[in-house]
Amino acid sequence: MAYTHMRFRKDPAQQADRAPGTVRWRRRRWNCAIAVLAIVITATSAAQTGATPTGDIATYAPGSYSELMVPSAMGPIKVQVRWATRGGSAALYLLDGMRARDDRNAWSFETNAVQLFENDDVTLVMPVGGQSSFYTDWRAPSNTNGQKTTYKWDTFLTRELPTFLSAHGVSPRNNAIVGLSMGGSAALTLAAYHRDQFVFAGSFSGALDLTAPGMREAIRIAMLDAGGYNVDAMALPWSPQWLRMDPYVFAPQLRGLSMYISAASGLPGRFDHPSSAIGAFNTTTAMGLEALCLVTTRAFQMRLNTLGIPAHYDFPGTGTHGWKYWEAQLANARPQILHALNTE
């Protein structure tokens, strides 16, 4: 936390009436009071965030956890970081889904991701925010929900954030990236266009064929439901910007990349136990979403097979669009991630 020292202009007449010794004593007392207040504020802030203040060397100790505010074209972006256990430079970026929150990345509390990698020499990077963004650079702010700032997530994740992290020992080149749902297609997109940064990409229940009939309108409805965002502000229909986001289209650029691709059948599985009408409704919705993602992921698989590009696939016979299933997929992908990062 930075503090600005303020100067208060004294009235010349009052200053002339004071003895020099008295003035110096009062100044010392005032400066001491300011110093004590600064210490109290800093300590209180650290206690509230659960982390030492940014810039303290303890914040970046191997195996520790930090919440950073990283400068970007969108303004400061919160990033949750669990630093590599032994101070290594490899990193795993974990992207959120369409309903990404502004306070925490859901990987940090919906799953055991931090515990899963706690003994591995890999820094977990969990950016916060980006609801309905597809983690791409938008053409304009959304005009259906009063958005003030144009999303520039591609720029943030591939330029601003790596530059910031490299100053703290994280490699800008030896990185893996994983995402679920919206973040799944985004992970493949970011890896495809930034091969110098990412050596692995994982998509769990991603929409991997955005040019399929009806997909744009399905995404339009989903984005309006998740924050009221307008898909046309992201990219115009079938424009180069829209095609750039489609894994089915840019698939040839994935050759040589280590990939883990999964989607379940949509049939209720071991983590689906609705006990109320709302629970049953949510499960039904999750079934439909997962079935749609399975169709597009299978189409993407056929596309890669046609191109002769290998990837690891997992298509469980049961499972819906939910965090516990993605937690299980991350555990399954972990050995491949560590191998790609050369941190086994």
Question: For residue 6, is pLDDT > 50?
Answer: no
In the CATH scheme, what is the homologous superfamily, with its name and number, of domain 58-340?
A: Alpha/Beta hydrolase fold, catalytic domain (3.40.50.1820)
pLDDT tens digits along 279-295: 999 999 999 999 999 99
Per-residue CA distances from 258 to 56, 88, 203 (Å): 36, 20, 12
pTM above 0.95, yes or no: no
CB atoms within 10 A of CB 27: 10
Instruction: Catalytic residue, from 132, 133, 181, 203: name it.
Output: 181
Dihedral sign (CA 142, 143, 147, 148): positive
Question: For residue 57, is pLDDT > 60?
Answer: no
For 32-82, give the DSSP string.
Answer: HHHHHHHHHHHHHHHHHHTSPPTT-GGGG-TT-EEEEEE--TTS-EEEEEE
CA gap 242, 234 in Å, rounded: 8
Question: Bigger pLDDT: 5 or 332?
Answer: 332
Per-residue model confidence (pLDDT) at position 115? 98
pLDDT tens digits along 232-283: 999 999 999 999 999 999 999 999 999 999 999 999 999 999 999 999 999 9
Per-residue model confidence (pLDDT) at position 37? 32
Residues 161-181 have a mean pLDDT of 97
Per-residue model confidence (pLDDT) at position 50? 36
Residues 89-108 have a mean pLDDT of 98
Burial status of residue 286 (CB atoms within 10 A of its CB: 0-12, 13-18, 19 or more): buried
pLDDT tens digits along 173-232: 999 999 999 999 999 999 999 999 999 999 999 999 999 999 999 999 999 999 999 999
Residues of the chain above pLDDT 70, percent: 83
Question: For residue 40, is pLDDT > 90?
Answer: no
CA gap 95, 135 in Å, rounded: 8
Question: For residue 45, is pLDDT > 90?
Answer: no
To the query of whether residue 344 is one of the catalytic residues in this protein, the response is no
How many angstroms separate the most distant Cα atoms in the chain?
A: 90
Per-residue CA distances from 63 to 115, 123, 322 (Å): 11, 8, 28
Ranking 19-33, 44-58, 61-75 by mean pLDDT, the lowest is: 44-58
Per-residue model confidence (pLDDT) at position 60? 82
Name the β-bridge partners of 66. 81
**Mean of all residue pLDDT scores within the chain:** 87
Per-residue model confidence (pLDDT) at position 59? 55
Instruction: Catalytic residue, from 89, 132, 321, 327: name it.
Output: 321
To the query of whether residue 194 is one of the catalytic residues in this protein, the response is no
Question: Bigger pLDDT: 331 or 6?
Answer: 331
To the query of whether residue 290 is one of the catalytic residues in this protein, the response is yes
Residues 95-101 have a mean pLDDT of 98
Question: For residue 143, is pLDDT > 50?
Answer: yes
Question: For residue 48, is pLDDT > 80?
Answer: no
